[in-house]
Homo-oligomer: A and B are copies of this chain.
C-alpha cells in the first residue's frame, strides 16, 4: 500500500475526510523516521519547501488542531510565545535546548518513573510532563 493510501485510510478511520491538503500535511508530519517537533511556522516552511501548491494558513491551523483532537499530535508547553507540537503521542518527557529552541525526546529509560504522593481531592491526573531545560555549558547566565 502506498504512503498516500495509508494516510487516506488513517484519516477516514478517524472520521476526517482525506482532502489533498490533509494528505500533504500527513506526508510532512508522519512520513519520517524520527519524531517531529514543530511549531506552526516550522510546518508552514516545510510545506512550502516540499510542495508547489500552497496551503492556506487557516487550513494548517485547522488541520493541526484536528490532528491533535484525533490524537495524531500532542501539544508541548514550553513558553507562551509559541505552540510546539509533537508527532510522538506516547507518554514521554522532553529536553528543551534554550540555545537552539529545539526539543529532544526523553525515552522511557532516560528518566525514572515519577512518584507523586499528593493528590487533589476530586481530581484525577490527566498527565505528568517533565521539561528539562538545557543550555550551553560555557555560556554566561546573566
Contact = CB atoms under 8 A, between A and B. Distances in A.
A58 interface: no
Contact of A118 (B110, B114, B126): B110
A58 B44 CA distance: 32
Contacts of A14: none
A115 interface: yes
A62 interface: no
Interface size class of A (residues with CB under 8 A): 35 or more
A114 B112 contact: yes
Copies in the complex: 2
A89 to B, nearest CB: 15
Interface string A64-108: 000000000001011111110000000000010111000010110
A10 to B, nearest CB: 20
A98 B120 CA distance: 12
Contacts of A82: 80
A1 interface: no
Interface stretch (A15-23, A29-37, A47-55, A128-136): A128-136
Contacts of A79: 75, 77, 80
